Amino acid sequence: MHDYHVHPNYSIDAEGSVEDFCEAALQRGLKEIAFTTHLDTDMTTDDCHVVVRGKRMDTLSGEWLENYEATIRAAHDTYKEKGLRVLLGIEVDYIDDLESLLPEQFYSADFDIILGSTHLINHGAISAGDRAEDTFKRYSMEELGEVYYAHLLRAIETGLFDIMAHLDLYRRFGQGFYGEGILNIWKPYLKDLANAMKRHNVGFEVNTSPLRTGQDDPMPEEGIIRALRKAGVLNVTTGSDAHRPSDVGAGIVEVTDLLKKVGYSTITTFNHRRPRNLKI
């Protein structure tokens, strides 16, 4: 099993050290784990920080990134002898003009995988419960779909990302705000989305976090997964989006079975950002 979306306590909303997560991964029988600390980029928010040895740092600081890379590589050396492959990853929250908002050392870091995500649209949060409603009030349901998927397409077109995380993240709080209709807002944009992903060799993850919060489907939900498979998007990973060690590996078996059900026969692994599809 592979868990390619894990947040250690470098992320300001996470708890547990890299070692804590690795030990939890071993206990759950995982073969690979990718640490994907948040790199938030919208400086109009207070989210653009990480934590290193208890010290809060600005994400533009290269110091934290050097420390993070060294820590993950040391964990890889320690745990590979125990049967766990540890990958250096990062989750970059895409906003327009992203290039000027990345640490100077970003392009010299030897990442195994870079996740792209969209937590905000026009500076408004869609995944934070205390802020999402204010964002949704600005848009009709149809407008939200148009703005969100245009934003997602721009992220893919940068060529920066290997995997797009939780494609229908708006569903987390949007379903309660807009109703069941929000489950279908992706349909007009699927063709353009799939074509862009194939053109730039970008895959997607099946994120299990909704299964821990009372929702029936992962992100994206089965209909999107099935449509992307039919459209020929073959790179796909699984991730728990764990923010504490107890969540590592949660739901991975279930979503792997879902992938097989909709027609995927392989799962994508990464090494120095080179994808390889392995039989499930």
Average confidence (pLDDT) over 25-49: 92
pLDDT digits (tens, 9 = 90+) for 254-278: 999 999 999 999 999 999 999 999 9
| Mean pLDDT of all residues in 19-30 | 97
For 182: left if phi > 0, alpha if psi spans -120 to 50, otherwise beta; the answer is alpha
pLDDT attached to residue 248:
98
| pLDDT computed for residue 48 by the predictor | 87
Q: How confident is the model at residue 143 (pLDDT cuts 50, 70, 90)?
A: very high
| CA-angle at 23, arms to 21 and 26, nearest 5° | 110
Separation of alpha carbons 150 and 132, rounded Å: 19
pLDDT in tens, 192-250: 999 999 999 999 999 999 999 888 899 999 999 999 999 999 999 999 999 999 999 99
Quickly tell me which residue has 């592979």 as its tokens.
Answer: 2
Any idea which fold 2-279 has?
Answer: TIM Barrel (3.20.20)
Query: Residue 135, exposed/middle/buried by CB under 10 A (0-12, 13-18, 19+)?
Result: buried
Task: Give the bridge partners for 3, in sequence order.
Answer: 33
Give residue 60's pLDDT band: very low, low, confident or very high (50, 70, 90): confident
Tokens of 130: 């205390």
What was the pLDDT predicted at 264? 97
Nearest to 203 by CA among 273, 119, 133: 273
pLDDT at 76: 97
> Which residue, chain included where needed, has tokens 């939200």?
144
pLDDT at 47 over 90: no
Give pLDDT, residue 61.
86
Residue-level pLDDT at 45: 84
What sign for the dihedral angle of Cα 24, 216, 235, 150? Answer: negative
Per-residue confidence (pLDDT) for residue 8, from 0 to 100:
97
What pLDDT was estimated at residue 212?
94
Least trusted range by pLDDT, from 4-8, 68-72, 120-124:
120-124
pLDDT, residue 261, reads 96
Alpha helices in 129-216 (DSSP H): 132-136, 141-157, 171-178, 190-199
- Checking if the pLDDT of 44 tops 90, the result is no
Q: Tell me: the pLDDT tens digits for 78-110? A: 999 999 999 999 999 999 988 888 998 899 999
Q: What is the mean pLDDT of the chain?
A: 95
